[in-house]
Structure 1
Amino acid sequence: MAALAELDVPLPPIIVHRASMRVIDGLHRLRAAQLRGHHTIAATFYDGTEADAFVLAVESNVRHGLPLSLLDRKRAAARIIATHPQWSDRKIASVTGIAPGTVADVRRSAVAGTPGEDVARIGRDGRVRPVDIAEGRRRAGQLIAENPDLSLRQIARAAGISPETARDVRNRLSRGEEPLLPPRPRGVRPRPRKEMLKVVPRPGHGEGRPGPAAGTAFAEGLSAVNRLKADPALRLNETGRQLLRLLSVHMLPPGEWEGIIDTVPPYWSGTVAHLARECAHIWEEVAARVEKNIARGNDSPASPADSSACPTM
């Protein structure tokens, strides 16, 4: 507070809950203004409920305030679980600054809501997803059987599951399997995610060196992009140039992808992986719609050799 009071600059507005006139964010700024001898301070009023005001206070503190202890953050998570039981563990974790697993532990030890009511939760993206994924998988299986032409995002939206889960259901059905995952034997824990990821190791590490297939796929894909760049129908209009730029950005040699993966800090791995999957889903929808245009006879003339796919890692 003393350090803030000595600054010769205007202090950012504090946030005040209008109904209770309590300071949500900026208590130190308020005290600093008092030390300066000021009788007024710039403020932004918040008109939500007290429960939402508490959430905003915790979130603001986690972002730029004096760090809360782990115990304080757990207590904040318990209070938010009690007032917002419909929020997912990841959403509450993003507010309180603790791990989703820790929020799940707090939820299990807290009495929040009535048994049987917690069937769906709201995620960080605002979407509602079922707590029991089995029902969502069953619904996705029915949708795929009734309308195989639906995109993964349409299936996911209707069934209340993620596009990645919808993809898994579709793949299982194509293999003649049930949409539900087989039950895991009691006492057997799933392997860590790192063991499930398949990433091409750096070149020069013996058997982990990328094989000729990866280099061939990259060369074919790069050649296809270069042919697309030579087509006036694409390079002479802004939308076509935007498509060419997007395709060029993704055409990187396998070794460069490996370098990009290595630069991701461990604490951002989950976020980067989520965004990468979201981008993959978008490209998959683009591919499906382009193929649908071909089936309708709306495609532009192209060489059969241009059907190269982006290289995989």
Structure 2
Amino acid sequence: MLAQVSDLFLADSPRVDGVVEGHVRKLAGLETPLPPIVVQRHTMRVIDGMHRLLAAKRRGAERLPVQFFDGSDEEAFLLAVRLNAQHGLPLSRADRRAAASRFIASHPEWSDRRVAATTGLSAATVGSIRKRSTDETAQLTARTGRDGKARPLRPAEGRLRAAELIKERPESSLRQIAAAAGVAPATVRDVRERLRQGRDPVPDKLRNLDGADRRPSATAGPATRTRSATGVRAAAVTDPGGTNPLPDGPSTAVDSLRRDPSLRFSEAGRELLRLLTVNAMPRESWEQLAAAVPAHRRDVCASLAREHARRWAAFSDLLAREAESAA
């Protein structure tokens, strides 16, 4: 659809410094058609494509191809951030931090990961921004993740409630306990398994994070760490908070990371994406690779795989420590 250039207005830009003049000049000098700009229908304000609009005016164009968006001003700003994180002139780190601050204020129930996925920042950075914010609702007890599910702000307390309910209602299903405790069914499953093994229902990583009493229950013995035969700590399917950080699988998660400008536009980020892409193969592909290894090389390949797994585990621990120190 075409719209009159004179009918379009500049909107609330996610860029702290506004329009980048050099980018406007670059677009104005292009002879190839540019993608349609996105416009909020009821205000005719440009959501995505302000540089393209100014470039068109500079070229003397009277009409431009547009795509209309029907939604509120806050929804329009959210869309602007998402689109600018995916294509065109990348948002600066200052732009993304400013957008994160705005989302934390307008959507305090959103999880750090959800804000991070929208702005292209790390969840640790969003958590740090949230800590400095004075506008967060004091009585907020849960946040909504990228999957739309609400999760408790203090996962350790949720685990302790689940542990008590499991003892009181041993016949109840995972979902019944989860609904009563305000946690995910996967968290209840993990708590139940920990209690069965005589372990503390709260993992070490969650201790002392929110001030809750996390002393082991009467039935729990000393916490132990499970290790595989190779000496690498076994990883749980779910994270300590009971959420699955890869709900749609590794490939989908890597695709999301590849759209993050903070990774795409740095040499180290691109190298990390390359390694993650290689390792995000489905299980069937790994099985095919294993079948292709000749018998006389299986020991060497197995040893190399274990060594790589050890290094990835160390990298995971490093990221976890940095996230905790930044929180």
DSSP 3-state at the match of 1:87: coil
Instruction: Name 1:83's counterpart in structure 2.
Output: 106
Cα pair distance change 1:147/1:43, threshold 3 Å: farther
Q: How high is the TM-score relative to the length of structure 1?
A: 0.55
Cα pair distance change 1:199/1:2, threshold 3 Å: farther
1:74 aligned partner, one-letter code:
R
| Displacement after TM superposition at 1:180 (Å) | 4.0
More displaced, 87-96 or 251-260?
A: 251-260
Cα pair distance change 1:261/1:167, threshold 3 Å: farther
RMSD: 4.0
| Displacement after TM superposition at 1:65 (Å) | 3.1
The separation in 2 between residues aligned to 1:260 and 1:46, in whole angstroms, is: 50
Among 128, 151, 162, the alignment partner of 1:129 is 151
| Displacement after TM superposition at 1:42 (Å) | 1.5
The separation in 1 between residues aligned to 2:303 and 2:58, in whole angstroms, is: 54
| Displacement after TM superposition at 1:14 (Å) | 0.9
| Displacement after TM superposition at 1:9 (Å) | 3.4
Instruction: Name 2:85's counterpart in structure 1.
Output: 62
Larger relative contact order (CA 8 Å, sep ≥ 6): 2
Kept after mapping to 2: 8 A contact 1:73/1:98? yes
Instruction: Name 1:15's counterpart in structure 2.
Output: 38
Instruction: Name 1:104's counterpart in structure 2.
Output: 127
Unaligned runs of 5+ in 2: 1-23, 210-224, 233-281, 291-297, 317-327
Asked if 1:120 corresponds to 2:106, the answer is no
Instruction: Name 2:266's counterpart in structure 1.
Output: none
Cα pair distance change 1:21/1:259, threshold 3 Å: farther
DSSP 3-state at the match of 2:89: coil
Q: How high is the TM-score relative to the length of structure 2?
A: 0.53
| Displacement after TM superposition at 1:157 (Å) | 6.7
Q: Any residues of structure 2 matched to 1:293-304 within 5 Å, and which?
A: none
Kept after mapping to 1: 8 A contact 2:108/2:137? no
| Displacement after TM superposition at 1:99 (Å) | 1.4
Q: What are the Cα deviations for residues 247-275 of structure 1, in whole angstroms up to 9, with x where unaligned? A: 85564649479659959xx8xx88xxxxx
Asked if 1:175 corresponds to 2:197, the answer is yes
| Displacement after TM superposition at 1:140 (Å) | 3.2
The separation in 1 between residues aligned to 2:193 and 2:37, in whole angstroms, is: 52
Kept after mapping to 2: 8 A contact 1:137/1:180? yes
The separation in 2 between residues aligned to 1:125 and 1:257, in whole angstroms, is: 38
The separation in 1 between residues aligned to 2:64 and 2:104, in whole angstroms, is: 33
Cα pair distance change 1:178/1:54, threshold 3 Å: same
Q: What are the Cα deviations for residues 61-119 of structure 1, in whole angstroms up to 9, with x where unaligned? A: 22213223322222211111111111111111111111111111111111223312x10
Unaligned runs of 5+ in 1: 187-195, 202-206, 209-245, 271-313
| Displacement after TM superposition at 1:26 (Å) | 0.8
Cα pair distance change 1:41/1:247, threshold 3 Å: closer
Cα pair distance change 1:113/1:19, threshold 3 Å: farther
Kept after mapping to 2: 8 A contact 1:121/1:131? yes
Instruction: Name 1:5's counterpart in structure 2.
Output: 28
Cα pair distance change 1:104/1:16, threshold 3 Å: same
Count matched residues. Answer: 214
